[in-house]
Amino acid sequence: MRIFSGVQPTGIFHIGDYLGALKQFVQLQEENHCLYCVVDLHAITLPTDPKVLKEHILDVAALYMAVGIDPKKQIIFVQSDVPYHSELAWILMCNTYTGELSRMTQYKDKSKGEESSPAGLFTYPVLMAADILLYDTDTVPVGNDQKQHIEITRDIAVRVNNKFPGTFVVPEGRFLKEGARIMSLDDPLTKMSKSSPNPFSRISLLDDEDTIRKAVKKATTDSFDNIAYDEKNRPAVSNLLTIYSVFSGMTIEKIVKLNEGKGYGAFKKDLGEVIITALRPIKERYEEIRNSEELVVCLRDGSERAYALAEKTMKRVKDNFGLGTVS
Ligand code: AMP
Ligand code: TRP
């Protein structure tokens, strides 16, 4: 199957991004053809500093490789290196209704209803549809927050196919399970996020060991005197148990058993070490490639391979729409 997913270059991933999305990307590469894209054109829908954006593009690309995505077998590339994304987005925009775009909850959240919000924020889902449809994608692994965007992608594809049969493959979303939602360390009722003002609410994949220990030590718990999993009544400790389990590969039952009679101090100490051990190879690999020629070569090669696939689809699309001089 053909897999496509994208992440905005807005900062270093945290363990929520890793456990919720990236780990899935790595698993999917075993049996599929995958394209993993750094969606820089999406990032400029909100104000960005060009120097910071450039750095974040390379950060994200290096992290894709550091977590284990193989750039020789799969395609890792930067969206704006393949100009067909913007071209297809225009064609799709002519087949998208303003009414359906104005119902997108992400647009409503981000534009805050202001007239001065950029039109790119409004048409964001159409560019995302272009990313996906350009590569005849079968499956799109994404977080639950992207459900509406996948739905509109499918609607656009079906609408175009009704006019011009056989233009697009209609993709399916592959959504994260609820269990894959990692919550903030300071507030177990909100999702761990890059944008939270409290740096101790999250653990970044590149945090140093002391910062990780400190963040885990500071993590909210509760006033019970045992370690137990109860998502409803004890969300903070349940979140820590989930993190422990996914990083160590041990079941939650086993971890609870290991911690019988122990307090939060000892449990958190172990958890800190489990996270540090799991992130160590990722950090090492990241540092090896982040400033290397290898990274640039891989991205160049990735965009060439993506370009070749996109070119084939665009030719078909333009032919079907009657665009251009010669077919
Ligand atoms: P974002 O940085 O918000 O674009 O997220 C990148 C990917 O990670 C998306 O697929 C999100 O759904 C996923 N993700 C972000 N935060 C979390 C979290 N706290 N728990 C699980 N998955 C997450
Ligand atoms: N909108 C996605 C997000 O914020 C990022 C994205 C852009 C994407 N294009 C995509 C995800 C195509 C999957 C497929 O997370």
Mean pLDDT for the chain? Answer: 95
Length of the chain: 327
What is the torsional sign of CA 121, 123, 125, 131?
negative
Rg from Cα positions in the chain? 21
Name the burial class of residue 202, with classes exposed (0-12), middle (13-18) and buried (19+) by CB atoms within 10 angstroms of its CB.
buried
Q: Which uninterrupted H or E stretch holds 165?
A: none
Cα–Cα distance for residue pair 221/237, rounded to 1 Å = 6
Could you tell me the domains of the chain?
Answer: 2-181+292-321 (3.40.50.620), 199-286 (1.10.240.10)
Cβ < 6 Å from ligand 2: which residues?
A: 4-6, 8, 39, 42, 128, 131-132, 140, 142, 146, 149
Q: What is the pLDDT of residues 21-72, one digit of tens each?
A: 888 899 999 999 999 999 999 999 999 999 999 999 999 999 999 999 999 9
Nearest-ligand number for the alpha carbon of 42: 2
Nearest-atom number in ligand 2 for the CA of 141 is: 13
Q: What is the pLDDT of residues 171-224, one digit of tens each?
A: 999 986 644 689 999 999 999 988 889 999 999 999 999 999 999 999 999 999
Q: What are phi and psi of 34, to 5 degrees?
A: -115, 140
Q: How far apart are the first and last CA of the chain?
A: 28
- Using left for φ > 0, alpha for ψ between -120 and 50, and beta otherwise, residue 177 falls in beta
CA of residue 97 to ligand 2 center, whole Å: 20
Do residues 135 and 316 make contact, with C-beta atoms less than 8 angstroms apart? no
Q: Number of H helices and number of E strands within the chain? A: 14, 5
Tokens, residue 156: 């656009």
